[in-house]
Amino acid sequence: MLSERRLQVLRAIVQDYVGTEEPVGSKALTERHNLGVSPATVRNDMAALEDEGYIAQPHTSAGRIPTDKGYRLFVDKLAGVKPMTAPERRAIQNFLDGAVDLDDVVARTVRLLAQLTRQVAVVQYPSLTRSTVRHVELLSLAPARVMLVLITDTGRVEQRMVDCPAPFGETSLADLRARLNSRVAGRRFTDVPQLVEDLPDGFDPEDRGTVATVLSTLLETLVEENEERLMIGGTANLTRFGHDFPLTIRPVLEALEEQVVLLKLLGETQDPGMTVRIGHENAHEGLNSTSIVSVGYGSGGEAVAKLGVVGPTRMDYPGTMGAVRAVARYVGQILAES
Amino acid sequence: MLSERRLQVLRAIVQDYVGTEEPVGSKALTERHNLGVSPATVRNDMAALEDEGYIAQPHTSAGRIPTDKGYRLFVDKLAGVKPMTAPERRAIQNFLDGAVDLDDVVARTVRLLAQLTRQVAVVQYPSLTRSTVRHVELLSLAPARVMLVLITDTGRVEQRMVDCPAPFGETSLADLRARLNSRVAGRRFTDVPQLVEDLPDGFDPEDRGTVATVLSTLLETLVEENEERLMIGGTANLTRFGHDFPLTIRPVLEALEEQVVLLKLLGETQDPGMTVRIGHENAHEGLNSTSIVSVGYGSGGEAVAKLGVVGPTRMDYPGTMGAVRAVARYVGQILAES
DNA sequence: GCTGGCACTCGAATGCGCCGAGTGCCAGGC
DNA sequence: GCCTGGCACTCGGCGCATTCGAGTGCCAGC
The confidence band for B51, taking pLDDT boundaries of 50, 70 and 90, is very high
Q: Are B253 and A233 an interchain contact pair (Cβ–Cβ within 8 Å)? A: no
Q: What secondary structure does DSSP assign to A217-255, as a single string?
A: HHHHHHHHTTS--EEEE-GGGGGGS-TTHHHHHHHHHHH
Any idea which of A30-34, A227-231, B15-19, B86-90 has the lowest mean pLDDT? A227-231
Give CA–CA dist A174/A168, Å, rounded: 10
pLDDT for the residue numbered A153: 75
Using a pLDDT cut of 90, give the percent of chain B over it: 43
Q: What is the mean pLDDT of residues A4-23?
A: 92
What pLDDT digit, counting tens, does each position of B159-216 carry? 788 888 888 888 888 889 889 888 988 888 888 888 888 888 888 888 888 899 999 9
Average pLDDT over residues A181-186: 88
B244 pLDDT above the threshold of 60: no
Residue B238 scores a pLDDT above 60: yes
What is d(CA B120, CA B232) in angstroms, rounded to the nearest whole number? Answer: 7
> A27-41, B151-165, B211-225: lowest mean pLDDT where?
B151-165
**What does the mean pLDDT of chain B come to?**
87
First and final CA of chain B: distance in angstroms? Answer: 51
Distance B27 CA to C20 C1' (A): 13
| CA A328 – CA A308 distance, rounded (Å) | 9
Which H or E element spans position B190?
A: none
What average pLDDT does the structure give for chain A?
A: 87
Nearest CA in chain A to B133: A141
Rounded distance in angstroms from the CA atom of residue B62 to the C1' atom of nucleotide D11: 8
Cβ of B283 under 8 Å from any chain A Cβ?
no
Whole-number Å distance between alpha carbons of A26 and A40: 7
* Contacts of B240 by beta carbon, 8 Å cutoff, 6+ apart: B118
In this prediction, residue B233 carries a pLDDT of 94
pLDDT of residue B156: 74
Amino acid at the residue B67: T
Least confident range of A213-227, A285-299, B88-102, B269-283: A213-227
Looking at the complex, report in whole angstroms how far the Cα of residue A308 sits from the nearest Cα belonging to chain B: 18
Q: Is A178 part of the contact surface with chain B (CB cutoff 8 Å)?
A: no
Per the model's pLDDT, the better-predicted residue between A100 and B291 turns out to be: B291
pLDDT greater than 70 at residue B133: yes
Q: How far is the CA of B30 from the C1' of D4 (A)?
A: 14
pLDDT value at position B57? 92
Q: Angle of helix A102-117 relative to helix A86-97, nearest 10 degrees?
A: 150
Q: Which is more confidently placed, B56 or B304? A: B56
Instruction: Tell whether A141 lies on the interface with B, counting CB pairs under 8 A.
Output: yes
Please tell me the predicted confidence (pLDDT) of residue B275.
Answer: 94
pLDDT for residue A245: 59
Average of per-residue pLDDT across B43-51: 93
B-chain residues near A229 (CB < 8 A): 103
A212: pLDDT strictly greater than 60 = yes
User: Which residue is nearest to the C1' sugar atom of C12, using CA?
Assistant: A62
Which of A92-101, B37-46, B137-146, B167-176 bottoms out in mean pLDDT, i.e. has the lowest? B137-146
CB B280 within 8 A of CB B309: no
The dihedrals phi and psi of B65, each to the nearest 5 degrees, come to -125, 150
CA atoms of B56 and B50, how far apart (whole Å): 6
Q: Taking CB atoms and an 8 Å limit, are B236 and A246 in contact across chains? A: no
Which residue from B311, B299, B308 is spatially nearest to B327, judged by alpha carbons? B308
The nucleotides of chain D lying under 7 Å from a protein CB are 3-6, 9-12, 21-27
pLDDT at position A242 is 64
Among B104, B119, B138, B139, most A C-beta atoms within 10 A, so best to mutate, is B139
Chain B contact present for A249, CB below 8 A: yes
Q: How confident is the model at residue B300 (pLDDT cuts 50, 70, 90)?
A: low
Instruction: Identify nearest nucleotide to residue A50 by CA to C1′ distance.
Output: D24
In angstroms, how far is CA B89 from the centroid of its own chain?
20
CB-based contact A21:A241 (threshold 8 Å) = no
**According to the model, what pLDDT value does residue A227 have?**
59
| Low-confidence winner among A133-137, A154-158, A314-318, B119-123 (lowest mean pLDDT) | A154-158
Residues of A in contact with B178 (CB under 8 A): none
Q: How confident is the model over B258-289, as pLDDT tens digits? A: 888 888 888 877 777 899 999 999 989 889 98
DSSP-based helix, strand, coil % in chain A, nearest 5: 55, 20, 30
CB atoms within 10 A of CB A50: 15
- Beta-carbon separation of B239 and A246 below 8 A: yes
Query: CB neighbours (10 Å) of residue B68?
Result: 20
pLDDT of residue A144: 83
What is the pLDDT averaged over residues B21-31?
Answer: 91
Contact A257 B233 (CB under 8 A): yes
Model pLDDT, residue B119: 95
CB A28 within 8 A of CB A16: yes
DSSP A305-330: EEEEEEEESSS-HHHHHHHHHHHHHH
**Residues 6+ positions from B93 with CB-CB distance below 8 Å:** B330
Q: What is the Cα–Cα distance from B165 to B143, expressed in whole angstroms?
A: 10
pLDDT tens figures, A281-329: 998 988 998 999 999 998 766 667 899 999 999 999 999 999 999 999 9
Q: What is the pLDDT of residues A138-180, one digit of tens each?
A: 888 778 888 888 888 776 778 788 888 888 888 888 889 889 9
Is residue B63 scored above 80 in pLDDT?
Answer: yes
| Interval A73-131: pLDDT, tens | 999 999 899 999 999 999 999 999 888 777 888 999 999 999 999 999 999 988 766 67
C-alpha span between B311 and B118 (Å, rounded): 9
CA quadruple B188, B192, B195, B201: dihedral, nearest 10: 160
User: B interface mutation test: which of A108, A149, A223, A225 has the most B CBs within 10 A?
Assistant: A149
Residue A163 in contact with partner chain B when CB distance is under 8 A: no
β partners of residue B64: B24
B234:A257 CB<8 A: yes
**Whether residue A246 has pLDDT greater than 60:** no
Contact B310/B120 with Cβ under 8 angstroms?
yes
